[in-house]
Amino acid sequence: MAISMYSASVPVCIRTLTNLSHFLDRAEAFCTARKIEPSVLINARLAPDMLPFSKQIQIACDAAKLGISRITGVEAPKFDDSEVTLAQFRERIAATIAFLKTIKPEQLDGSEDKDVTITLRSGPVTYKAETYLKHFAMANMWFHTTTAYAILRHNGVELGKMDFIGNLAQPV
């Protein structure tokens, strides 16, 4: 049986964002234990020319919700990117997951050949939905989730591979 657009996206996005929220729990515990102001981690970067941890979370959420929205035509929630606390970032992740949970398989399945146009810095680009999903939307979400993970690890937060992958035995 072929893999479906839904099964390749929505449950995967939900699991990834759930794990990202778990990173925030670990970051908060780290800050509490070491008496570090959470804004230190929220503003941390791996390199001076990279976006901070805060933007990594925002973009990971945006990649998931906009990726699905562009394929289904369902309007995604809009966020104003004003989060400054770990609790506010958890709320953003939860709102993104809540949106994803409203998407039904029939809204995605069969959309593989639908045109999806996005605007990059270089201008508009059109992909078939399957290509867009597999090679842009999902990759973008994972890139920013991975970068968030790396920023926390770089700053000493104890996270491991299983924190990133999550509990595969637990259904989404």
**Per-residue pLDDT for 167 more than 80?**
no
Homologous superfamily assigned to 10-104+112-165: dinb family like domain (1.20.120.450)
| Residue 16 confidence (pLDDT) | 96
Name the 3-class secondary structure at 125: strand
Alpha helices by DSSP H, listed for 1-52, are 10-34, 38-42
Hey, where are the domains in the chain?
10-104+112-165
Percent of the chain with pLDDT over 70: 97
**Mean pLDDT confidence for 86-111:** 97
Residue 75 to residues 67, 101, 114, Cα–Cα distance (Å) = 11, 13, 17
The predicted pLDDT at position 2 comes to 78
- Give the mean model confidence (pLDDT) for residues 47-56: 97
How does pLDDT run across 108-148, given as a tens digit for each residue?
Answer: 999 999 999 999 999 999 999 999 999 999 999 999 999 99
Rounded Cα distance between 6 and 81, Å, is 27
Q: What mean pLDDT is reported for the chain?
A: 95
Which phi and psi (to 5°) does residue 81 adopt?
55, 40
pLDDT at 166: 83
- Contact of 114 with 129, CB cutoff 8 Å: yes
